[in-house]
Amino acid sequence: MHYWFFTSPVLKSLPGNALVGNLRNLHYFKPLLQSTKNRPSVETITTLKQDLIKNLGRDSVSDTEAIRKQHSRDEGVERHNHLADLVVWPKSTEECSIIASLCSEKKVPMIPFGTGTGLESGVCAPYGGISVDMSKMDQIVDFNPEDFDVTVQPGVTRKGLNHFLKDHGLWFPVDPGADASLCGMTATSASGTNAVRYGTMRENVLNVEVVLADGRVLHTAGENRRSKKSSAGFNLTNLFVGSEGSLGLITKATLKIYGIPEMMLSAVCAFTTIKAAVDTCVQILQSNIPIARIELMDDVAMDMCNSHNKLDYKVAPTLFLEFHGSEDSVKSQAKFAGEIAAYNGGSEFCWAYESEERNRLWKARHDIYWTTLQSNPGCRAIITDVCVPITRLPDLIAQTKADIQESGIIGPCLGHVGDGNFHTFLVFNPNKPEEFKKAETLAERMTRRALDLNGTCTGEHGIGIGKMNYLEKEMGPVGIEMMKSIKKTLDPHWLMNPGKIFLSDY
Amino acid sequence: MSLRILVGCKRVIDYAVKIRVKPDKSGVITEGVKHSMNPFDEIAIEEAVRMKEKKIAKEIVAFSCGPTQCQETLRTALAMGADRGIHVEVSGPEYETLQPLHISKMLAKLAKDEQIDLIIVGKQAIDDDCNQTAQMTAALLDWPQATSASKIEAKDGSLQVVREIDGGLETIKVKLPSVVSADLRLNEPRYATLPNIMKAKKKPIKKLAPKDLGVDVSPRIQVVTVEEPPVRQAGAKVENVDAVIEKLKALGHA
């Protein structure tokens, strides 16, 4: 297997309108996968642009550098300087079909773009192609409050949907933090703080409408079907959940919604060791307390959290908990959880049930990524997302923290202990190659450890580009072969979001 | 303390909707458009409910004036914790020209009829941005007013209110009965939950006509035309400062 290391002169000589303007030579470019494809030629793109304008209208197509740049990156580490060649804004499923047929004919890659809030460079364009920005398809197309289901187009975001639902006493609880596109969340199988009680996107998507690479429209559970369960044929819906835009353009998702809990109570509790915090979590789950959120923040994260948000929590491993239910149920759950925490040496138990108090608490948790970057101006961070069976978590975190401390890299550890999933943000200065190398090595050791502990390299963020190396080890050769053959069936020319998930296309 | 609180809840176009002007320029399109309770009024209801939870208030009456659909707005208020609703029905052209003064007169009459101790309204509505109703109501009743409240504490028959003003925060004491208008940072309103929405269906909503309150809603204004703001034009790039000045002169700006 050859790896091509791209540096500035080589990139400039590639065919196609690969790079214009200011080229920041990022020393930590990931090696691109060996591929039989070239980037589309300038002529191809020009013709495609004309066809798209003819079919979708002048306003729906752009090749401005600024727009292309905006669409070629997300919130994760910048992996490439490659830009998409064009950006289009379809307004309907039919327009998506047209785009797919045109691109398919000309062999131009397509990259679906939701809100650009991903963390694994899922929207970047190593092979150019067109970025399909779905934000103009922003309707809630079908809402059935008494059946607890709703169907949305990709431009509908999580907060937008919850705003629409709140007057009906309903909500969609999957909460990855960002105000992401719901179809984008479907594509990455998003999870978040509420997963321990309400599940991830896998458990909450009933049906997906997707435009395949050749333009055909597929309804994964059948058109307009929205039964809560089904045994009919293969479960195509869950094939697309988590497919990261590599199997088609998702144009609709039918989601399960829930009643807003009567009462929500949040609590914070500090511990002397991470082990005590994780043990508390395991015991809470073992006691069958239907806890809604249980999140861990280590001392490094708490310190940053305090200074950034002007709070004064104890700088120690801390659990953030939330209980949902009726008033009696919530109070008894919290009391029981408090006893378990005290048994493990937990202290400083404080509660909040008023909306603004709870939101302040959780905002501090959700913003921790930004807090980390802000506390280290000019730096970026590698985000890890390992997930292991819960009982393995204390050891994994302990070893990871020891590693981090030894390396001198700043790396807060925090996450969804209730699912056995935790994140670290390994901070590095982009101008210091040795820091990046250290951060990468830490991430690699952590991920290999997680895989050895029967876990996964990515609990919720997706493979994107950064974790391609681990997928092979995680799935094994048969798994990878199966995935690739499915991919080749649905996308024989490998046009849907190329350069992601798999190290090679053969 | 056991106050009876009257809260004004206006039904407005939802803040997330993209507003479109009617082709005949007589107003904005409201047909088939999502409406909801004015966000500042949600904050007002939330504050009243919290006062009831703290046993400072004994009853919360929600009020809305407008077409039949205002009943939905009142149901939301009831689901959040109000005890009963009053709907003054006004529709058609009279509704289009309804002004804060009309509402203030209704609130003042209701305050007397229902023996209200405290009126809380949102500081302004997101459709007209008037910020007048609380003030006019207080004047009509000759009651003290505390507007743009960001914190309310009840103490021995009066309220200590922190107001958000241009220069910062001002703390005043107002005797009850009084009128308060809620500002953004007063609280974060709760969501109506399914069981409460169910319960709200059984709470009473009294229907009245403006004349029952002695208020004349015939129009005092006439809407001449409603237009969208001008569409943003593309910018132009020039080579140097002299060219900028030339361009500005040519456009008549310098």
Comparing B236 with B97, the larger pLDDT belongs to B97
Whether B124 shows a pLDDT value over 50: the answer reads yes
A171 CB neighbours in chain B (<8 A) are 191
pLDDT of residue A344: 94
Would the CB atoms of B34 and A354 count as touching at under 8 Å?
no
pLDDT at A484: 94
Partner-chain residue, chosen from B36, B187, B191, that has the shortest CB–CB distance to A260: B191
Query: Look-up: residue for tokens 């809260």?
Result: B7
| pLDDT for res A100 | 97
State chain A's mean pLDDT as an integer.
Answer: 88
pLDDT tens digits for range A366-396: 888 888 988 889 898 989 999 999 888 888 9
DSSP reduced 3-state for A480: helix
- Please check the confidence at residue A11 and state whether its pLDDT lies above 50: no
Query: Closest to B188 (Cβ–Cβ): which among A167, A262, A356?
Result: A356
Two tokens, residue A266: 């949040």
Interface of A with B (CB under 8 A): 160, 163-164, 166-171, 259-262, 354-356, 359
pLDDT for residue A37 = 57
Mean pLDDT across B17-35: 92
Q: Does the pLDDT value for residue A196 go beyond 70?
A: yes
DSSP SS3 for A469: helix
Contacts of residue A224, defined as CB under 8 A and 6 or more positions apart, other chains included, come to A142
**Cβ count near A310 (within 10 Å):** 7
Q: What confidence score (pLDDT) does residue A10 get?
A: 37
Please give the average per-residue pLDDT across A297-322, as a whole number.
89
3-class DSSP state for residue A323? strand
pLDDT average, residue stretch B43-52: 97
Tell me, yes or no, if the two domains A9-135 and A140-259 fold the same way.
Answer: no
Average pLDDT rounded to a whole number, residues B125-134: 96
The 3-state secondary structure of chain B reads CCEEEEEECCEEECCCCCCCECCCCCCECCCCCCEEECHHHHHHHHHHHHHHHCCCEEEEEEEEEECCCHHHHHHHHHHHCCCEEEEEECCCHHHHCCCHHHHHHHHHHHHHHCCCCEEEEECCCCCCCCCCHHHHHHHHHCCCEEEEEEEEEEECCEEEEEEEECCEEEEEEEECCEEEEECHHHCCCCCCCHHHHHHHCCCCEEEECHHHHCCCCCCCCCCCCCCCCCCCCCCCCCCCHHHHHHHHHHCCCC
SS3 (DSSP) at A1: coil
Which of A163, A262, A354 shows the shortest C-beta gap to B193?
A262
Average pLDDT over residues A311-332: 91
Topology (CATH) of A263-366:
Alpha-Beta Plaits (3.30.70)
**pLDDT tens for each residue of B144-179:** 999 999 999 998 889 999 999 999 999 999 999 999
Three-point CA angle A241, A243, A244, nearest 5°: 110
Whether A280 contacts A271, CB under 8 Å? yes
pLDDT digits (tens, 9 = 90+) for B187-204: 999 999 999 999 999 999
Q: A100 or A415: whose pLDDT is higher?
A: A100
- How high is the pLDDT of residue A150? 97
Which residue in the set B36, B187, B194 is minimally distant from A259, CB to CB? Answer: B194
Q: Which of A162, A167, A171 to mutate to test the interface with B (most CBs of B within 10 A)?
A: A167
Q: Would you put residue A329 in left (φ > 0), alpha (ψ -120 to 50) or beta?
A: alpha
The predicted model gives A449-473 an average pLDDT of 93
Domains of chain A: which residue ranges? 9-135, 140-259, 263-366
Contact B16 A354 (CB under 8 A): no
Q: Name every chain B residue with its beta carbon within 8 A of the beta carbon of A166.
A: 191-192
Query: What is the least distance, in Å, from the CA of A88 to any CA of chain B?
Result: 20
Contact across the interface for A262 and B196, Cβ inside 8 Å: yes
Q: What is the pLDDT of residues A235-293, one digit of tens each?
A: 999 999 999 999 999 999 999 999 999 999 999 999 999 889 989 998 999 999 999 99
Q: Which residues of B touch A59 (CB under 8 A)?
A: none
Please give the ipTM for the structure prediction.
Answer: 0.86
pLDDT at A506: 65
Task: Give me the pLDDT at residue A339, please.
Answer: 93
Whether pLDDT at B239 is above 60: yes
| A6, pLDDT greater than 50 | no
CATH number of A140-259: 3.30.465.10
Name the percent of chain A lying above pLDDT 70.
Answer: 92
* Test mutation, B191, B198, B201, B232, chain A, max A CBs within 10 A: B191
Nearest to A355 among B34, B190, B197 (CB): B190
What 3-state class would DSSP assign to A341? helix
| pTM across the whole model | 0.88
Whether A272 contacts A316, CB under 8 Å: yes
Q: What is the pLDDT of residues A34-53, one digit of tens each?
A: 343 568 888 999 999 999 99
Nearest to B153 by CA among B122, B116, B183, B186: B186
- Quick: pLDDT tens for A130-186: 999 999 999 999 999 999 999 999 999 999 999 999 989 999 999 998 899 999 999
Ranking A81-85, A475-479, B109-113 by mean pLDDT, the lowest is: A81-85
> In a mutagenesis test of the B interface, which of A260, A358, A363 is the best target, namely the one with the most B β-carbons within 10 Å?
A260
pLDDT at A12: 38
CATH fold of the domain at A9-135: 3.30.43
d(CA A389, CA A459): 11
Range of lowest pLDDT (A287-301, A302-316, A427-441, B177-191): A302-316
Q: Say how many CB pairs under 8 Å bridge A and B.
A: 38
Name the residue among B16, B188, B190 with its Cβ closest to that of A160: B16
The candidate with the shortest Cα–Cα distance to A194, out of A171, A176, A181, is: A176
- Banded model confidence at residue A309, pLDDT cuts 50, 70, 90: confident
